[in-house]
Chain A
C-alpha cells in the first residue's frame, strides 16, 4: 500500500517551463516531507524538504508548496533547464519511524532544449 501517492508518472516541459509534481498522503503523523532528485545510474539526492508548519519553502529554483488540510504537497521547478531532467521522488516520515522514509512512486521529468 503506497502511503505517499505521487503524480504524474512522467512529464515533459520545454526549457523555461515550470514542471509541477504533486504528492498526497493519509498519515497525519507525518511531519517531514523531503524531495529527492535521481539521475540515471546515481542514488537519490536530497533536494529540498519541508515541515507541516510551513506552507512554502524555496531553495534556488525549487519550491515546495504544502497544504496541511488537504494533506498534499508539491514541487515546482522554476525556469527549468535540460540539466533538471531526472526522476523526482517525494517522501514522508513520522517521528516514531526512526527515520524510515515512505517514498512516492517517482516522476520522470524531461526538460527539452
Chain B
C-alpha cells in the first residue's frame, strides 16, 4: 500500500456520461498530480494541485476538470465521455510543491467507456 488511495478501482460507463475519480493523498502530502495512462500515449500529465490551488496544467481536455478540497483529497471529473477516454487514471502525491523528492502513485482507476 503506497498510502495514496484512489477510488473506484474500476469504472465502466457509456459514451456521453460523466464520472468522478477520487484521490486521497499520502498523509502529510500537499501536492496532488493526475496522470492519464493509455497504451499509445504512455503517462500523460493532466493537472497538479498544491494545498488547494491549481499549480500546473498539462494536456487536460476542456471536458475534464479537477479540484483539491480543504482536506487535501482531490477529484477528477470527466464529462461527455468518449471511447478514447478509456485509460488508466493515476493520482500521485508529494509533500512539497516540487516532485523532485519523488511522487507516490496510487494504484489507479481503470476507466472503460463503452
Which residues from chain B contact A41 at a C-beta distance below 8 Å? Answer: 107
A46 touches B102 (CB 8 A): yes
Tell me the total A-B contact number using a CB cutoff of 8 A: 70
Asked if B25 is at the interface of the complex by the 8 Å CB criterion, the answer is no
Task: Categorize the interface residue count of chain A.
Answer: 20 to 34
B100 touches A93 (CB 8 A): yes
Task: Categorize the interface residue count of chain B.
Answer: 20 to 34
Which chain B residues (24-60) contact chain A, with CB distance < 8 Å? 31, 33, 42-45, 48, 50, 55-56, 58
B42 touches A104 (CB 8 A): yes
B102 touches A49 (CB 8 A): yes
Alpha-carbon distance A89/B35, docked complex (angstroms): 14
Alpha-carbon distance A95/B99, docked complex (angstroms): 9
Alpha-carbon distance A103/B55, docked complex (angstroms): 19
Given contacts A43-B90, A43-B108, A44-B105, are A99 and B43 in contact (CB under 8 A)? Answer: no
Task: Output the nearest chain B residue to A97 by Cβ-Cβ distance.
Answer: B56
Which residues from chain A contact B108 at a C-beta distance below 8 Å? Answer: 42-43
Alpha-carbon distance A43/B96, docked complex (angstroms): 20
Asked if A101 is at the interface of the complex by the 8 Å CB criterion, the answer is yes
| Shortest CB distance B94–A (Å) | 6
Which residues from chain B contact A102 at a C-beta distance below 8 Å? Answer: 45
Asked if B104 is at the interface of the complex by the 8 Å CB criterion, the answer is yes
B56 partner, pick from A43, A46, A98, beta carbons under 8 A:
A98
Given contacts A99-B33, A99-B48, A101-B45, are A43 and B98 in contact (CB under 8 A)? Answer: no
Alpha-carbon distance A103/B38, docked complex (angstroms): 13
Alpha-carbon distance A112/B58, docked complex (angstroms): 38
Which chain A residues (28-61) contact chain B, with CB distance < 8 Å? 31-32, 34, 36, 41-46, 49
Given contacts A44-B90, A46-B104, are A98 and B55 in contact (CB under 8 A)? Answer: yes
B42 partner, pick from A42, A45, A105, beta carbons under 8 A:
A105
A32 touches B106 (CB 8 A): no
Residues 88-99 of B, flagged 1 when their CB comes within 8 A of A and 0 if not, give 001010101111
Interface residue ranges, B against A (CB under 8 Å): 2, 4, 31, 33, 42-45, 48, 50, 55-56, 58, 90, 92, 94, 96-100, 102-108
